[in-house]
Structure 1
Amino acid sequence: MNKELVLVTISGPDHPGITAALMNCICKSKARIEDMGQSITHGLLSLSILLNMTKAEGEQDNSPLIKDLLFTAKKMGVELDFEIIEDKEMIKAPGDKYILSCVSLGGITSDFIYDISKTLADNNINIQRIENVTENEFKSLEIGTRAESQDVQWEQVKEQLINLSNKHETDLALLKDDVWRRNKRLIVFDMDSTLIQSEVIVEMAKAHGVGDKVHEITERAMEGHLNFDESLVERVRLLKGLREDLLQEIVEEIKLTEGVEDFVKTVKALGYKVAIISGGFTYFANYFKERLGIDYAFANDLHIENGVLTGDIKGSIVNAEKKAMLVDLLAQQEGIRLEQVVAIGDGANDLHMLAKAGLGIAFHAKEIVKQSAKQHMSHGPMTSILYFLGIPGAQD
């Protein structure tokens, strides 16, 4: 038996009681709701209800329901229309569902929406819903999408979205629309140039008069002549003799990244655990752990004797592989899945960690890091990431 499906659409000025009145009509009939969607745009209601009005043998005809719905809609001051839907039209598209989260401090523009919608269409991705998630402003959208086939080239889509993000100065995240999207429980920060605005070892080198030498080693590492471990050992060796008491002066001059304090305060209030996993040093990581009320901090431990640095590192180096391993261990410690972890970093040393987490975000990172990471945030403050977590209005 084919289903007798009727799509009812309601529009008009929104006010309390409309949905309840319509549901009361449906409850009195034998019709079943197959699907439903409702949204409000600037005080105007848009409500769609897909009704299965198939009559079983011996059941009363459902046709009076449409008349009742029309009468009720008139009484509530809204417009109601309906159409018969063929059962075969209800076959759902086979592709993946994603949420495209868009955040722009300057406001979402029509040019941006045109470019996004055309890019999605060109890649055979259908827009299913668009929702403004900033109250009284137009700065953040959630765009619900579904791929119309299994052949979507997602890496190509990602590259195109990065280009649009740069063009419109709007941060974008393409998030799998699944149960884990709003069920994150652990936030992991890199420290240097992510949690804070500085590179700690650079500030230490300046204080010790070896800034140029440390910069030269850093450049050699970036050119691929040294790996992270080798470059760190060489740079720390140059810090031999730096007085321990100067570390306090250095750390007090370091500025937090814009939005970090509000971001941490918000996620902590919502029950998230927060960690620092840094290729920097424990003295600084522990300082910011205490200052911000962060739960965990991991970094390299400088060897200090008689109040001065010896130029050595105690224990194993926190490199890219160690960072990823610590993310694994923290997830186990908290009894959560990796899909519930958010990792935020800016450098190549963070890529393993970003890949390990369910949501890895390259924060104001170099282009090569943005291309490799799952998501990136390049324009807004740290609080903009709250929108990626499904926490709307948190910046207001």
Structure 2
Amino acid sequence: MPQTKQILITVSGQDKPGITSKLVKTIIEGGGKLTNMGQAVTHGLLSLSLVFNKDGAQFEQDLILKNLLFEAKHLGLEMDYKYLDDNPPHMAPYVSWEKFILNCVSPKDIPTQFVHDVSSLLADHNININRIDNVTPVEFKSLEMSMSLPPNISLQELKKDLLKIGGSHRVDVAFLKDNIFRRNKRLIVFDMDSTLIQTEVIDEMAKAAGVEKEVKEITELAMNGKVDFDESLIKRVQKLKGLEVSKLQEILESLPFNQGVEEFVGTVKSLGYKLALISGGFSFFADALKEKLGLDYAFANSLEVQNKKLTGRLKGTIVNPEQKALLVNLLAQQEGISLEQVVAIGDGANDIPMLSTAGLGIAFHAKEVVKREAENHMSFGPMTSILYFLGIPGPVRESVQH
């Protein structure tokens, strides 16, 4: 039999310690040299592939294959082998194709139909899935699919179709470039109202001031992008004139966090992320939440107070959508990092520039106008589900928390 430059062996069976060691030792003893390998374990069943070629005068492929087959049988494994060309023609295009990761996260088990619909969509676009990992092995709630995209693919259309499939199955998806920045985020920026906390603070203030209906109408128009933010904020604050500061403290003490916020913040803080709150709300609340959660920065609007009552006016620069994006830029400079290393999380129209500025912008349980503009959504899971979008697997998260 003619000598071949590369041989691929694939072994499968019950996983246990020592399998890789024994097979690689057999290759070394036969004069072989590893050139590639891959391994996966699913429910305790191993699939291990080893590619090797000649690395010495004593290399005899028939003998080395015989010894590998014997060793595999001794280990209780099935083994198959194949002779490879140096450069398989069907693999050539993949080298220059851009790599992407599709993260899929579900509050419950990922539906089988979702997996079918996603894989069918990718197949229709001639996209080959290189790897699939269950990120939460004790459950079936998070999948990570690795793939390479042909150059003629419309990325925006593909993302749109993936989000549509995810929405129909209540599965959150993020389609991200698989580059050095994906797992190297350093700064996370949050909106406050309806993102970190469940409520819109200004509506609670309006309720306390007896002007709830008027203020809520302006708030909804602003958050859906139908009214200029600065103008709407000034009008709403004017309606709060005379509200006692003591009422603000009462509101603060009753603000509920969104599900998973404290767990998420604790995890990413433990991993060394810097955290900032940038809010179009008010510094009275933003500063308090900064202290309570242990954030590094907080920016919000300042209310003018006289005689322990609100005057109905603001002090200083208004934190509007443009200012939010500017602050993201300034924080990245302050931390000495690239914008690609910044994550922004928000829910309203005034968050869109901030989400667009950050390397990873996530619309969190957002209004429809925001979903249409944002690159990535988290619409069904708690904030802890965003950990998977950051490449932080469940077990790592749990070990940090405990």
TM bracket, shorter-chain basis: over 0.9
Measured at CA, do residues 181 and 158 of structure 1 come closer, stay the same or move farther in structure 2, by a change above 3 Å?
Answer: same
Query: Counterparts of 2:330 and 2:107 in 1: how far apart (Å)?
Result: 36
Structure 1 contact 384–395 (Cα < 8 Å) conserved = no
Measured at CA, do residues 41 and 222 of structure 1 come closer, stay the same or move farther in structure 2, by a change above 3 Å?
Answer: closer
Structure 2 contact 222–349 (Cα < 8 Å) conserved = no
Query: 1:208 aligned to 2:209?
Result: yes
The Cα offsets for residues 41-77 of structure 1, whole Å up to 9 and x where unpaired, read as 0000011122234x78xx3334132222222211211
Query: 1:275 aligned to 2:273?
Result: no
- Percent of paired sites with the same residue: 57
Query: Counterparts of 1:367 and 1:6 in 2: how far apart (Å)?
Result: 53
Structure 1 contact 10–48 (Cα < 8 Å) conserved = yes
Measured at CA, do residues 395 and 257 of structure 1 come closer, stay the same or move farther in structure 2, by a change above 3 Å?
Answer: farther
Show the 5 A alignment for 1:101-112. 101-112=103-114
Counterpart amino acid of residue 200 in structure 2:
E
Show the 5 A alignment for 1:264-343. 264-343=265-344
The 10-residue stretch of structure 1 (221-230 or 258-267) with the greater mean CA deviation from structure 2: 221-230
Q: Where does residue 67 of structure 1 map in the other structure?
A: 66
The 10-residue stretch of structure 1 (60-69 or 333-342) with the greater mean CA deviation from structure 2: 60-69
Structure 1 contact 383–395 (Cα < 8 Å) conserved = no
- Name the SS of the counterpart of 1:193 in structure 2: coil
Show the 5 A alignment for 1:1-396. 4-53=5-54, 59-63=57-61, 64-89=63-88, 90-93=91-94, 94-147=96-149, 149-221=150-222, 226-393=227-394, 394=397
- Name the SS of the counterpart of 1:277 in structure 2: strand
The number of residues matched between the two structures is 391
The 10-residue stretch of structure 1 (214-223 or 95-104) with the greater mean CA deviation from structure 2: 214-223
Query: Counterparts of 2:16 and 2:227 in 1: how far apart (Å)?
Result: 65
1:124 CA displacement: 2.1
Query: Counterparts of 2:211 and 2:179 in 1: how far apart (Å)?
Result: 50
Query: Counterparts of 1:163 and 1:275 in 2: how far apart (Å)?
Result: 31
Query: Counterparts of 1:365 and 1:256 in 2: how far apart (Å)?
Result: 16
- Name the SS of the counterpart of 2:193 in structure 1: helix
1:191 CA displacement: 0.3
Query: Counterparts of 1:244 and 1:308 in 2: how far apart (Å)?
Result: 6
Query: Counterparts of 2:77 and 2:332 in 1: how far apart (Å)?
Result: 50
1:368 CA displacement: 2.5
Counterpart amino acid of residue 71 in structure 1:
F
Counterpart amino acid of residue 77 in structure 1:
G
1:223 CA displacement: 7.1
Counterpart amino acid of residue 81 in structure 2:
F
The Cα offsets for residues 14-51 of structure 1, whole Å up to 9 and x where unpaired, read as 00000111121223344332321101000000111222
1:352 CA displacement: 1.2
C-alpha RMSD of matched pairs (Å): 1.8
Where structure 2 has 5 or more consecutive residues not aligned to the other structure, the ranges are none
The Cα offsets for residues 340-394 of structure 1, whole Å up to 9 and x where unpaired, read as 1111001111111111111110001122311211111000001111111122223
Measured at CA, do residues 301 and 88 of structure 1 come closer, stay the same or move farther in structure 2, by a change above 3 Å?
Answer: same
Query: Counterparts of 1:28 and 1:310 in 2: how far apart (Å)?
Result: 84
Query: Counterparts of 1:224 and 1:87 in 2: how far apart (Å)?
Result: 57
- Name the SS of the counterpart of 2:301 in structure 1: strand
Query: Counterparts of 2:178 and 2:32 in 1: how far apart (Å)?
Result: 30
Structure 2 contact 225–350 (Cα < 8 Å) conserved = no
Query: Counterparts of 1:102 and 1:223 in 2: how far apart (Å)?
Result: 27
- Name the SS of the counterpart of 1:80 in structure 2: strand
Counterpart amino acid of residue 85 in structure 1:
L
Query: Counterparts of 2:125 and 2:371 in 1: how far apart (Å)?
Result: 21
1:270 CA displacement: 1.2
Structure 1 contact 173–388 (Cα < 8 Å) conserved = yes
Query: Counterparts of 2:227 and 2:372 in 1: how far apart (Å)?
Result: 22
Query: Counterparts of 2:48 and 2:201 in 1: how far apart (Å)?
Result: 54
1:225 CA displacement: 5.6
Measured at CA, do residues 225 and 12 of structure 1 come closer, stay the same or move farther in structure 2, by a change above 3 Å?
Answer: closer
Where structure 1 has 5 or more consecutive residues not aligned to the other structure, the ranges are none
- Name the SS of the counterpart of 1:192 in structure 2: coil
- Name the SS of the counterpart of 1:138 in structure 2: coil
Structure 1 contact 229–319 (Cα < 8 Å) conserved = yes
1:92 CA displacement: 4.5
- Name the SS of the counterpart of 2:242 in structure 1: coil
Structure 2 contact 225–349 (Cα < 8 Å) conserved = no
Structure 2 contact 223–349 (Cα < 8 Å) conserved = no
1:395 CA displacement: 6.0
Structure 1 contact 159–371 (Cα < 8 Å) conserved = no
Query: Counterparts of 2:35 and 2:320 in 1: how far apart (Å)?
Result: 52
- Name the SS of the counterpart of 1:291 in structure 2: helix
1:301 CA displacement: 0.9
The Cα offsets for residues 263-309 of structure 1, whole Å up to 9 and x where unpaired, read as 11111111111110111010000111111111111111111112111
- Name the SS of the counterpart of 2:49 in structure 1: strand
The 10-residue stretch of structure 1 (126-135 or 8-17) with the greater mean CA deviation from structure 2: 126-135
- Name the SS of the counterpart of 2:241 in structure 1: coil
Measured at CA, do residues 223 and 381 of structure 1 come closer, stay the same or move farther in structure 2, by a change above 3 Å?
Answer: closer
Measured at CA, do residues 297 and 354 of structure 1 come closer, stay the same or move farther in structure 2, by a change above 3 Å?
Answer: same
Query: Counterparts of 1:190 and 1:41 in 2: how far apart (Å)?
Result: 39
- Name the SS of the counterpart of 1:258 in structure 2: coil
- Name the SS of the counterpart of 2:101 in structure 1: strand
What is the TM-score with the length of structure 2 in the denominator? 0.93
